[in-house]
């Protein structure tokens, strides 16, 4: 038994060490990356499901790592959130997103920016958004802040005040990945939410029996509560037509456009539609 325990230890120790080292490296890397301009944003259009006309864009973070190449947010956000680096990183992303929005023309549509729960719990978040809007010269009504469902579940005073503050300023609020968390209708009614983003898992399953009924139910909820709807992850024409038929008015996904660099946005906006 002793021999077995020893062997087990030897086998697991190197694994533990590797993951700890990688985690620390990533934290230091993130800090250095932010200080040396390794992050940038790409933007994905939100379109009218029926016409393909662009009504908004969503800003998404990318990290151009000197050795690892392009790293996506799913890889670095967990570390950024756990280490608190999401605070300066998220601040940068918001300011940069608004600068880029201002650099397109005045007719450019709304811009969606993802804001993490960690950022939303900071006492100064409303002032930060107000300052970033003023610095970029962007009207608050052109900003959509995307939040996760889990944030609403916490129901704490700080978050409630922050949402009310943003809403009072004229900023729109969207619930991201809707349907994957546990938000009840009660929460939706008691928070000043404007937009629900239907998670891509529902869109992916649209051709399976029963799934259409789920999307149909979400459409009805949105109508009842007078909320706008955006379906995420639309990759195929049959998904677009199904969503259109179900009354989901807005959509986003590779069918219309992948996320593009800021410099490519004016050309996208110049097109009458993305169909
Ligand atoms: P999300 O907000 O749900 O963003 C949608 C994700 O789906 C993006 O992944 C996008 O590139 C991807 N996507 C777009 N169209 C399609 C499609 O047709 N099919 C499929 N399968 N995927 C599609 P991405 O860019 O890797 O971002 C992952 C997540 O990272 C985002 O999920 C968001 O939660 C988070 N994120 C991104 N940027 C930021 C940021 O600036 N701040 C914060 N806090 N989170 C961010
Ligand atoms: Ca989002
Ligand atoms: Ca989403
Ligand atoms: Ca997501």
Instruction: List C-alpha distances in Å: 162 to 93, 99, 155, 192.
Output: 19, 23, 12, 11
Q: Is 79 in the pocket of ligand 1 (CB under 6 A)?
A: no
Q: Is 239 in the pocket of ligand 1 (CB under 6 A)?
A: no
User: Per residue in 186-238, pLDDT tens?
Assistant: 778 888 999 999 999 999 989 888 889 999 999 999 999 999 999 999 999 99
Which residue, among 123, 132, 116, has the nearest Cα to 78 in the 3D structure?
116
Provide the 3-class DSSP secondary structure of residue 22: helix
Q: Report the nearest atom of ligand 1 relative to the CA of 259.
A: 11
Q: Distance between CA 179 and CA 199 in Å, rounded? A: 6
Percent of the chain past pLDDT 70, that is, above it, reads: 88
Q: What is the pLDDT of residue 241?
A: 96
Q: Report the nearest atom of ligand 1 relative to the CA of 177.
A: 3
Q: Report the nearest atom of ligand 1 relative to the CA of 113.
A: 41
Partners of 63 in beta bridges: 39, 71
User: How much is the mean pLDDT over the chain?
Assistant: 89
Q: What is the pLDDT of residue 5?
A: 43
The distance of Cα 194 from the centroid of its chain, to the nearest Å, equals 15
Helices (H), 148-199: 149-154, 157-169, 185-190
Full-model pTM: 0.91
- The string of DSSP codes covering 82-103 is HHTTHHHHHHHHHHHHHHHHHH
Distance 5 CA to ligand 1 centre (A): 43
Question: Probe ligand 1: pick from 47, 56, 73, 143, max atoms within 8 Å of CB?
Answer: 73
Which residue, among 260, 258, 215, 256, has the nearest Cα to 237 in the 3D structure?
256
Q: Whose CA is nearest to atom 14 of ligand 1?
A: 253
Nearest ligand for residue 112 CA: 2
Q: How many CB atoms lie within 10 A of CB 60?
A: 18
User: Per residue in 45-80, pLDDT tens?
Assistant: 999 999 999 999 999 999 999 888 999 999 999 999
Residue bearing the bigger pLDDT, 190 or 245: 245
């Amino acid at each position: 038994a002793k021999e077995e325990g020893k062997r087990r230890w030897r086998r697991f120790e190197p694994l533990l060490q590797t993951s700890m080292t990688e985690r620390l490296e990533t934290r230091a890397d993130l800090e250095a990356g932010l200080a040396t301009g390794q992050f940038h944003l790409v933007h994905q259009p939100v379109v009218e499901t029926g016409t393909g006309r662009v009504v908004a864009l969503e800003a998404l973070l990318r990290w151009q790592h000197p050795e690892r190449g392009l790293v996506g947010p799913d890889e670095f956000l967990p570390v950024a959130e756990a280490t608190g680096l999401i605070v300066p990183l998220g601040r940068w992303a918001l300011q940069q997103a608004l600068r880029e929005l201002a650099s397109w023309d005045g007719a450019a549509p709304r811009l969606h920016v993802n804001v993490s729960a960690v950022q939303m719990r900071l006492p100064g978040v409303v002032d930060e958004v107000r300052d970033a809007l003023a610095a970029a010269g962007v009207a608050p009504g052109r900003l959509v802040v995307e939040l996760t469902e889990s944030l609403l579940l916490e129901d704490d005073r700080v978050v409630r005040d922050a949402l009310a503050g943003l809403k009072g300023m004229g900023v729109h609020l969207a619930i991201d990945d809707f349907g994957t968390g546990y938000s009840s209708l009660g929460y939706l009614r008691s928070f000043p939410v404007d937009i629900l983003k239907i998670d891509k898992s529902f869109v992916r399953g649209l051709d399976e029996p029963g799934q259409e009924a789920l999307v149909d139910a979400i459409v009805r909820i949105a109508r009842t509560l007078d909320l706008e709807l955006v379906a995420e992850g639309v990759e195929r024409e049959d998904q677009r037509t199904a969503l259109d038929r179900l009354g989901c008015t807005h959509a986003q996904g590779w069918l219309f456009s992948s996320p593009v660099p800021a410099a490519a946005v004016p050309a996208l906006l110049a097109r009458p539609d993305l169909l």
